[in-house]
Amino acid sequence: MSDTRSAAPRDTVTVFRSIETGNPPLRRDREYAVEFMKQLDGLPEPIKSRIPKLYDRSGIDFRYSCVADYGVEPDAFEFFPQNWALSPEPSTGARNKKYREQILPLVEDVASRALAASGVPADEITHVIGVSCTGSFTPGFDIELVKRLGLPPTTRRTMVGFMGCYAAFNGLRAADAFCRSHPNARVLLVCAELCTLHFRVGDSLEDAVVNSLFSDGAAACVLAATDRHDADGQFSFLGSGSALDDDSLDYMTWDIGDVGFEMGLSPRVPAVIGRHAPGLVDQLLHSVGRSRDEVDFWAIHPGGRAIVESAAESLGLEGDDVRDSLEVLRLYGNMSSPTILFVLKRFFDRSASETLNLGVAMGFGPGLTLEGCLVGRA
């Protein structure tokens, strides 16, 4: 069916109608994670001895997983082989099969709750944007959401894949473009990652750091095209920007291997982020005639404690400014793409009762790429 709707008026803004988050049911604390790692066969002793301190410094108290094996003894393992070496390792195909089984109920849950909270009827949704990098299948969960939620068969679908931790920003940018192009646009954005599916014992400190950071989760939001005169100070998407470092392509990588996806994470990442964050933030704020002292809320993607601290130091922020980012990290770990929406939900919820007019959100990922956006009252 052709689109006969007229272009949106120039003063259309993109309003957040809801943000909802969710996780798989298995939740384990830091102490459990440390004990799990210490029991693994094949983990070099010099690495094993550093696990308690490494996990303590992570700033993560709890993490979630779609893999029930993380909560039982080896004789009850169903995903991994029944031994502490986790050998032979599950194939990429086996991990992707698990991804398909587990991602569908998770995205359906967060998306249905986001729809209910938004007040937008399912038959008014015009676009679905799916974001994920930890698995893939076709037809994808975008089509599954159309069918499971009773969305119109004419719903336009977009999938953002394999972009890592900053992918939600690309999803938000696409949603904003749809809203500015179609005056009746109602966009459902869903980010979902099952990072723990790709757990590997590894034999390096880099592997141990990666294992200490990641968790599983999902987030969904509904955004709507709204005439500026009707936005009435609602929480809105106000603009976005990007920055790509010239010399750090191999600092953060995500490759498909025979036994799962393999992540590379250089200890140089926080320094690169700190170097580029001020320029990106100032570019964003300048585009709307604002300055840093007008920012009420900072949503820095908690890819790790060192990343948040480096970005904060470069921007001259205080502890309270990054409290929400570090609290999301503490309670959930790094869930890749949905994580920034967990932080923005705190802004969204607080803005109903607090005077929060302008927020800056930032994310980081392979490239090394920095993505940012402005959120606040229209």
Q: Taken in order 363, 195, 86, 262, is the CA torsion positive or negative?
A: negative
How far is it, in rounded angstroms, from Cα 377 to Cα 30?
38
CA–CA distances in Å: residue 300 to residues 8, 117, 211, 234, 258 = 31, 25, 21, 22, 33
Q: What confidence score (pLDDT) does residue 377 get?
A: 86
pLDDT digits (tens, 9 = 90+) for 323-340: 999 999 999 999 999 999
The answer to whether the beta carbons of residues 308 and 363 sit under 8 Å apart is no
pLDDT digits (tens, 9 = 90+) for 121-131: 999 999 999 99
What are the boundaries of each domain within the chain? 235-377
The answer to whether the beta carbons of residues 292 and 281 sit under 8 Å apart is yes
Residues 6+ apart with CB under 8 A from 44: 203
How far is it, in rounded angstroms, from Cα 62 to Cα 280?
31
How far is it, in rounded angstroms, from Cα 243 to Cα 367?
10
How far is it, in rounded angstroms, from Cα 335 to Cα 98?
17
* DSSP summary character for residue 7: P
How far is it, in rounded angstroms, from Cα 322 to Cα 306?
12
| Residue 9 in this model has a pLDDT that exceeds 70 | no
Residue type, 149: L
Q: What confidence score (pLDDT) does residue 231 get?
A: 83
| Residue 75 in this model has a pLDDT that exceeds 50 | yes
- Could you tell me the fold of the domain covering 235-377? Peroxisomal Thiolase; Chain A, domain 1 (3.40.47)
The answer to whether the beta carbons of residues 250 and 269 sit under 8 Å apart is no
pLDDT digits (tens, 9 = 90+) for 169-209: 999 999 999 999 998 999 999 999 999 999 999 889 999 99
Confidence band (pLDDT; 50, 70, 90) for 8?
A: very low
